[in-house]
Amino acid sequence: MMLSPISKEQVSIDIDSSIPFPGYNTMMDDHCKTMPKMRGCEPYVKYWDTQKETEAQEKKETVLDTNYLEADPNTLASAKQVEVVELKDGDTYTMEVTQVAKEIGNDTLAMLAYNGSIPGPVLKAPAGSKVTLRFINKVDGLATTLHSHGLRGDYTMDGVPVDMMGTQEIMQTGDSFDYELVFPDTGVFWYHPHVREDLQQELGLAGNFLVTPKNSDFYNPVNSEETLILDDILIDNGKVADFSESFANYILMGRFGNTMLVNGETDFQMHAKS
């Protein structure tokens, strides 16, 4: 009897790509995690080791590109004085993240700034208003977002990244995003990044919202008003102390500094009549 040759199409087998290896069983996977030395667990142990290697490689590839930390301050524009920007309902205001050279004491440091100042501009708006904040990331290698801390509003506008149970994709160099912000409550609030706060806030990324009351008699009458932002920074050998590129190596939201700042200055002064 003569047999016909079998074509490749006839012997092709569909393999479920979601199964790690032939014969894989989820119950066996769970069982082997408690008894990895048991006979029959060898392919599961090998699979786990491969997973760990893949995750380690992916983690290595997602380490932040922080070349901006090594920027030469002499190549950067000098930081500006903090401005108070008055906004009204319906306004659009553009805010850019850039690098600046900032003098702190006897040192000139490469830092990050919102619209060129450290801290960023005071954004003053009346209670009940809504504005569009057009946010642009202009720093090479910086991954960031803008979080409006304390404002009650649309959660899709709060700058919390997807991997932190938020809704926003992290903004890379050159990205822009229109934050539609509402100001329902009178008071002082602040804005800051929601990516590597320990690093980006230390380098200057923070600022205030000042929401004014609808009624003129909300506060006692005064003849002037000042916003003071208190901060500290850790300076080591004439530059901002080093950070880990892949994780918060001090504490999550910051670290203890050795230089105190008021509105970004070590020698801030203001005068008032008694």
Q: What is the pLDDT of residues 32-61, one digit of tens each?
A: 988 888 888 999 999 888 888 777 665 544
**What is residue 203's predicted lDDT score, i.e. its pLDDT?**
95
Q: Is the pLDDT of residue 267 over 60?
A: yes
Structure tokens at 169: 């994709």
Share of the chain above pLDDT 70, in %: 89
Lowest mean pLDDT among 37-41, 141-145, 174-178: 37-41
Residue whose C-alpha is closest to residue 86's, from 230, 225, 212, 228: 212
Q: What pLDDT was estimated at residue 17?
A: 63
Predicted local distance difference test score (pLDDT) of residue 48: 86
Nearest to 83 by CA among 92, 95, 99, 98: 95
pLDDT of 105: 92
| DSSP β-bridge partners for residue 92 | 132
pLDDT at 72 exceeding the cut of 90: yes
Q: Is the bond leading into 119 cis (omega within 30 degrees of zero)? A: yes
Greatest Cα pair distance in the chain? 116
pLDDT at 1: 52
pLDDT band of residue 14 (cuts 50, 70, 90) is low
Q: Would the pLDDT of 274 be above 60?
A: yes
* Per-residue pLDDT at 236: 92
State the pTM of this model.
0.75
Q: Chain-wide mean pLDDT for the chain?
A: 88
Q: What pLDDT does residue 61 have?
A: 45
The CATH class of 67-262 is: mainly beta
pLDDT digits 0-9 by tens, 100-115? 999 999 999 999 999 9
